Each structure stands twice: as C-alpha cells, then as structure tokens.
Amino acid sequence: MAGKSSILLDVKPWDDETDMERLEEAVRSIEMEGLTWGASNLVPVGYGVKKLQIMMTIVDDLVSVDSLIEERLTVEPIDEFVQSCDIVAFNKI
C-alpha cells in the first residue's frame, strides 16, 4: 500500500488586485495522478491582501510536493496569480 500525505499549502498572490477566485481555479486546474485537492479558504494577511490556504492529499510515490510547487504552481500561466507557495503542514496519513 502506497503512503499518502495530507498537505496544507499557503498560496500567496502578487497583491490585493489579484483575483483570488481565478487564483484558486488556476491552482485546482493542476491535475496529476495521485493528487487530490481538498478544502480551501482565504486568510487575510494584511493591507487588503488575502492568501489561499488549500488542502491536498498526495500519494507519496506519485507526487513530489517540491516539484509540484516549483514546476506547476509557480510557473506560467499560474504565476500570473501566484507569487509563492509555502507548506504550512505536512502529515503522513
């Protein structure tokens, strides 16, 4: 049985002008075998800026979180919305 992990990501927009609905759509548009997107919410960070916190479940053997962030979440076309991503919590399940 393959191991799974539950990960909470902080996805930060460029500024308060970023359309957070489109940012979330862009994030959720990433599809990979072994990746399941979960619940999300917007968290205020200050100066009118909000970040997207989103849960995802991965199959450890199929998905590398680092490459997901570096090769999918912070490159074109998603980098139009996403400034950076940070792992808030990483739990084996």
Q: Is pLDDT at 1 greater than 80 in this prediction?
A: no
Q: What span, in angstroms and rounded, lies between the C-alpha atoms of 42 and 37?
A: 15
Q: What span, in angstroms and rounded, lies between the C-alpha atoms of 41 and 92?
A: 22
User: What is the chain's mean pLDDT, rounded?
Assistant: 95
Q: Is pLDDT at 63 greater than 90 in this prediction?
A: yes
- Per residue in 14-47, pLDDT tens? 999 999 999 999 999 999 999 999 999 999 999 9
Whole-number pLDDT of residue 74: 92
CATH class for the region spanning 4-92: alpha beta
Structure tokens, 35: 């990746």
**Domain locations along the chain:** 4-92
Binned at pLDDT 50, 70 and 90, residue 2 comes out as: confident
Report which secondary-structure segment, H or E, holds 38: strand 35-46
